[in-house]
Structures are given as C-alpha cells and as structure tokens.
A and B are shown apart, each in its own frame.
Chain A
Amino acid sequence: AQSVTQLDSHVSVSEGTPVLLRCNYSSSYSPSLFWYVQHPNKGLQLLLKYTSAATLVKGINGFEAEFKKSETSFHLTKPSAHMSDAAEYFCVVIVLSGGYNKLIFGAGTRLAVHP
C-alpha cells in the first residue's frame, strides 16, 4: 500500500535560516507526490507536485523538493525562512482507488519561524 511518513511533527527555525521538512514514501510503483501547506484557519494550498518528470521540483514561495528514488524521500526545502512560512505542511501521495485518484496525507509537520 502507498503511504507517506513525515519524520518530524514540529520543526523550529530562525527567520533567514534554511528550512528542511522531511518526507519518506512507500510505493510499489512510481508515485505522484505533493506538498500542501495549511495556514491557521485556512484550507490547504498546493505548494508543489512531483509526477515523474524532473526530480527537482520548484514550487511557490521559494520552496522546492527533490524526489530521490534510492532513498524513497521527497524532502521539502527553502533556503531562507520567512515569518509568513509558519504553518503546517503535509506530504501527500496519490493512490488509485477503483480507477480514481485519492489523496493520502502524511501526519503533518508544524513549522515555527522565530525572529
């Protein structure tokens, strides 16, 4: 069965320092992987997606993620954190269920950014 594991439930960084949010996946075939962000009292917003094209994927707000098949990882990074990046981040894998796409979410990583 396909699944994702987010390795950290909380990550805390200082403003201006790099961000690393870790995600490992389990899949019997080449997966479609996504990162979503959820700000307080807001819905989820798609940050970026990997669908078997380039392994380095660039998203919105300066975020990027690298698909590494050998490590079964899809870690999210950003060179320099902003206060506005404080939010919860979800790694997501798409599974096919009865011919239809279904999103399987990781447990989430809460990112805190300190001045």
Chain B
Amino acid sequence: EAQVTQNPRYLITVTGKKLTVTCSQNMNHEYMSWYRQDPGLGLRQIYYSMNVEVTDKGDVPEGYKVSRKEKRNFPLILESPSPNQTSLYFCASSFQGDNGYTFGSGTRLTVV
C-alpha cells in the first residue's frame, strides 16, 4: 500500500530534550515536506526537500532541522524542544512538480 509513515504517533517530552520524528514513504517520491498544524492557523510548512541531500526552509523553520540522506526517509529533528513547538506534525510527499500530496497520519507532540 502506497503510504507515508510517521513515528511516533504521540510523543510527550520535556523542554530541551532532543527528539526525532521519523517519516518514510514507499512511493519513490522526490519531494517531501514537513508541516505543523495548529488551531486557527491551518498547516504551515516547516522544511521541504526536493531530493536526496537537497533541503530548504519553509515558512516556520526556527527550532527544527531535517536531513535527506535517502530518498524514502525525511526525519524531523528538534534539537532543543520548547513548549511553543507543541503541535500536530505532518509529513507529506509527492512526485516532483506534481500537485498531489500524500500525507502521513500525523505526530502529536507535547513539550512540557
């Protein structure tokens, strides 16, 4: 089944403790992206990647890092999480130049 898989689904952590949210897709998509969803703000892009070793900032990149060492994986790294990063995070992928995005099921992160 074609899908985007995120792990974990739920995560509670403390301020300053580094964490990684994994994202993997099995559709051979070149393009991958991370979004955060907050009430009243919709989905905002954090980082995106056009292909292996090619990443760039989205609209709200502060406090996040990403890497794209393999085509299928695009982990989101929070080096020193803060409470304002409490949110629902989604990974998405698509073929290059394609408008159709496939989203993962989300990771609900709480930073206390």
A in complex with B: no
Please give the residue numbers on chain A whose beta carbons come within 8 Å of chain B beta carbons, in ascending order: none
